[in-house]
Structure 1
Amino acid sequence: MSAVNDTNFNSAMFLLTGIPGQEDIHLWISVPFCLVYVISVVGNSVILFILRTDTGLHEPMYIFLSMLAVTDLGLSIATMPTTLGTFLFNAREISLDACFAQLFFIHSLSYIESSVLLLMAFDRFIAISHPLRYASILTLPRIAKMGLVCVLRGVAVVFPLPFLLKRSQYCQDNVLSRSYCLNQEIIKMACSDIRVSSIYGFFVTVSTAMLDSLLILLSYVKILKTVLSIASHAECVRALSTCVSHFCAVLLFYIPGIGIGLSVVQRFWNSSSPLVQILMGYVCLLVPPTMNPIVYSLKSKHLRAKIIRAFKK
């Protein structure tokens, strides 16, 4: 327990936690976690394989989908070692450097996914509002530049966080409430001044996920405005049906985050158990990478047909 009160940065450790109060059944809880990770890794890998090998799917919509699959795969890999290690082997210790590296990948990949969802909303807006100019607007070089900007933004805004956290001393209780590291929780462990880290973390959230969500909402408002102006009911339904998969992906990504925010507010007013916030955190990171390939496989006839054909071979 010397690590708990140790102010020496180099020797301090954090202790991960699976689900507090449920340590006796962690081995059983690991079964659904293993299943979720298998579905996520296999599902996104299959999506990437199909999109890579089938030239008929090298269209803007599917290129954006491949970006989403890569991001989801990265998120699953970033949390898998510590989560399964905690539940299966009770391997709870993690060094500060490893913890900071993990939170860097988790946060940067989350913000990249938010950006990719925004690009996919833009793709649907162009396809519905300007169908004749769709191919000329979303060219391959332009898509590549947009994807590069998403990656650079996600990495750039999170890059300072590990260095800001590394400057702090950690002499508080070093037990984390989850089996992975997040910036918001690490800040609470510091016993030095954390105002800069807190303000910067808030700025990053506002300038990425919150901004992206507002722009996605604006895109759908414009899409609905365009669709409602279509005289034919059949064409209106057909246009909206192309947005179903993306709309589901947006809900899967943002609703758990909203749930976490609400649970924090309820906890502040002593009307919610901390367990709710912890479970919502797992949902936020594990459900989108698992459900996105399933949703797109079910909703996209072309992709579903290619996957079935590939498995038959």
Structure 2
Amino acid sequence: MEAFNLTPSDPSTFILNGIPGLEAAHIWISIPFSVFYIISLLGNCTVLFVVGKEKTLHKPMFLLLCMLALTDIGQSTCIAPKALSIFWFHSKVITMDGCLTQIFFIYMLGTTQSAVLMTMAFDRYVAICNPLRYATILTNARIAKLGLVGLIGAVLLVLPVTLLLRRLPFCANRIIPHTYCEHIAVVKISCGDTTVNRMYSLVILLVVIGSDLILISLSYGLIIRAVLRISSKTAHWKALNTCTAHICVMLMSGTPYLFTTLTHRFGQGIAAHVHILLANLYLLVPPMLNPIIYGVKTKELRDKVGKFTCRM
């Protein structure tokens, strides 16, 4: 096999070991992995296609939904092909540059997605709490600018992660017990001082994810307060229904990410294969479910998808 023809001390490569302890089940594990990835691609590409084709959907909310779909496609594509090549072909080798590139895009897209979700919460806040000014506050051009700012901010925040990793020395052990180059998993096999790497990544986690969660919570707190002031119960449900999809997506994206990241750092009592499975699932399951949730909960999108499906 390709992986075993390399010495572990090869300075230009790492070896991804898949899921330690579950090697015999790799073929079976590949089945849900490939299904999740295919459904994610089909669902998110459908959202992009329908929103792009249907001019009535060229609105801020759907533009944000397209941004979310792009980050979902990017994140799942960062890990699924390599994981499946390990499961199916035992292709475990990855170059140093390939590893750093994978880390950069995984975390850059995750940080961008967090900014998109925060903007979605703000979009719902304006739509419910200040509907008369919605069209002037949130224009397509302004949403595009916010998306660009989120992307540039993510690149600037995540780039030092890869630069700090490149300076680390790696000695005899170059085997990563993972299906992809997860940042902390790579840091752990270094034989140098990794204090700066660990601290910087933890600061990003707390500052970026923490600030986004605070702002999202604040937005939904104000939304709930505004909804409770509405006397009509029908209006209550209508207003809350517009937020349900966003809340579900944020819970699915944020909760597994925080749990996986923190347990990978501090959860010493949790089995390695549990860490790795969770780290894969949080990058595969939300991208698969996001377009389904929005398709079910957003009537305009659901109707347009149905219309295009009937034409085929």
The Cα shift of 1:265 comes to 7.5
CA–CA distance in structure 2, aligned partners of residues 293 and 17 of structure 1: 32
Task: Please identify, of 99-108 and 25-34, the stretch whose mean Cα deviation from structure 2 is larger.
Answer: 25-34
- CA-atom RMSD in angstroms: 1.7
Letter in 2 for 1:61: M
Match of 1:238 in 2: 238
Report the alpha carbon displacement of residue 88 of structure 1 after superposing the two structures with TM. 1.1
Between stretches 253-262 and 292-301, larger displacement belongs to 253-262
Q: What corresponds to 2:8 in structure 1?
A: 4
Aligned pairs for 1:1-313 (under 5 A) are: 3-5=7-9, 11-171=11-171, 173-260=173-260, 263-264=263-264, 267-268=267-268, 270=269, 272-313=270-311
| TM-fit CA distance, 1:223 | 0.9
Q: Sort the Cα spacing of 1:203 and 1:263 in 2 relative to 1 into closer, same or farther, 3 A.
A: closer
Question: What per-residue deviation string (whole Å, max 9, x for no partner) do you get for residues 68-87 of structure 1?
Answer: 00111111221122111111
Please identify, of 108-117 and 11-20, the stretch whose mean Cα deviation from structure 2 is larger. 11-20
For each residue in 1:273-307, what CA deviation from the matched residue of structure 2 results, as whole angstroms up to 9, or x when unmatched? 22222221112111111110111111111111111
TM-score by length of 1: 0.93
Further displaced range: 130-139 or 275-284: 275-284
After superposition, give the CA deviation of every residue in 1:126-162 in whole Å (9 maximum; x if it has no partner): 0010000000100122111101111111111011221
Distance in 1, matches of 2:232 and 2:102, equals 51
Cα shift at 1:266: 7.4
Secondary structure of residue in 2 paired with 1:243: helix
Q: Deviations over 1:4-59 (max 9, x none)?
A: 345xxxx2421112222221221222111111110011110000000001000111
Report if the CA contact (8 A) 1:172-1:189 is conserved.
no
Contact 2:179–2:276 (CA<8 Å) still a contact in 1?
Answer: no
The 1-side partners of 2:108 and 2:35 are apart by: 25
Q: Percent identity?
A: 39
Query: What amino acid sits opposite 1:128 in the alignment?
Result: I
Please say if residues 12 and 170 of structure 1, whose CA atoms lie closer than 8 Å, have aligned partners that are also in contact.
Answer: no
Distance 1:172 1:213, change over 3 A: farther
Gaps of at least 5 residues in structure 2 are: none
* CA distance in 1 between partners of 2:302 and 2:235 (Å): 23
More divergent stretch after superposition (114-123 vs 208-217): 208-217
Q: How many residues align?
A: 307
Please identify, of 159-168 and 289-298, the stretch whose mean Cα deviation from structure 2 is larger.
Answer: 159-168
Structure 1 residue 264 displacement after superposition: 4.5
Aligned residue type for 1:82: K
One-letter amino acid matched to 2:271: S
Larger deviation: 35-44 or 170-179? 170-179
**CA distance change for structure 1 residues 40 and 207 in 2, over 3 Å: closer, same or farther?**
same
Provide, for residues 87-130 of structure 1, a one-character-per-residue CA deviation record: whole Å limited to 9, x for no partner.
Answer: 11110111111000000000000010011000000000000100
| Contact 2:8/2:15, CA 8 A, preserved across alignment | no
Unaligned residue ranges in structure 1 (runs of 5+): none
Task: State the Cα distance separating 1:219 from its structure 2 match.
Answer: 1.1
**CA positional deviation for 1:174:** 2.1
CA distance in 2, matches of 1:228, 1:172: 62
Distance 1:110 1:51, change over 3 A: same
Partner amino acid, structure 2, of 1:4: P
Q: Distance in 2 between matches of 1:261 and 1:102?
A: 17
Name the CA distance, whole Å, in 1 between partners of 2:196 and 2:266.
26
